[in-house]
Amino acid sequence: MIGIFDNDIKDILGLLDGTPFKRFPFDEKDVLPTQERSDLVLMRDSAYELGGSNLDSLGMALVTDDVALKSETILVGKELKDIKADCNYAKIVLISLKQSPDEEQKIFDLIKSLEYAKYKDNVKGFMMRASALTKREQVRVSKQALKDGLSFQKLGNTIIVSYLTRSVVSAVTVIFIADAPVDFAPIYAISDRSSEVLDALNHILDNVLVDCAHCNLKEICDKVEGMRELHLKRAK
């Protein structure tokens, strides 16, 4: 059932075609210590802010039980140590499940829990500020953390380890975009579309409408495979 984001995931991966990037295989031993609360990084201690100065910024997590993924980190742009000032930034987490729940409400709850998992594992010297409303994700990076060897490769491994602790998760691909000559417009479009799909799923669970012609989410159901079937199933 969690094929509702499959096209979004394929589109994200498709954006990498023709774009230079680095690929880091998952290494469970090369991870960073985490803490429950986000670390406070003051301006005077900050080297720069990813997504700062009103530059492009985005955080997104997409779930599938159909698209084949492998646990790895992909970096488009510069490594943290090579960034000199505020820059554009995106963190996209693609999560593959061993199997999805049978009940629609459990599917929705699982998607939301995986989406909000990013708030639980925080790294010292990497102060994340995220907005669930705008999908912006900005990170203030401390000078000391860079001196200590903080890198996107280590961050990716740490994120993957965190998700793999959940028995339902089989693989995680983490994509970082930083200080890169990338057009964010198609990325924003994919993020908006995935949010609309999730809103539609929530709508179906909360308020079953059998008259599709008068539903304001008809366009989403028409475009996303499995949504119409789910809606009709809930209406029976």
CATH no. of 6-181 = 3.30.1650.10
Report whether 162 contacts 117 (CB < 8 A).
yes
User: What is the pLDDT, as a whole number, of residue 108?
Assistant: 78
pLDDT single digits (tens) 81-110: 999 999 999 999 999 999 877 666 777 788
Element (H, E) at 157: helix 152-164
* pTM for the whole structure: 0.86
- Tokens found for residue 153: 């490769």
The domain limits of the chain are 6-181
Cβ neighbours around 53 below 10 Å, total: 12
- pLDDT lower than 70: segments of the chain: 1-2, 102-104, 204-236
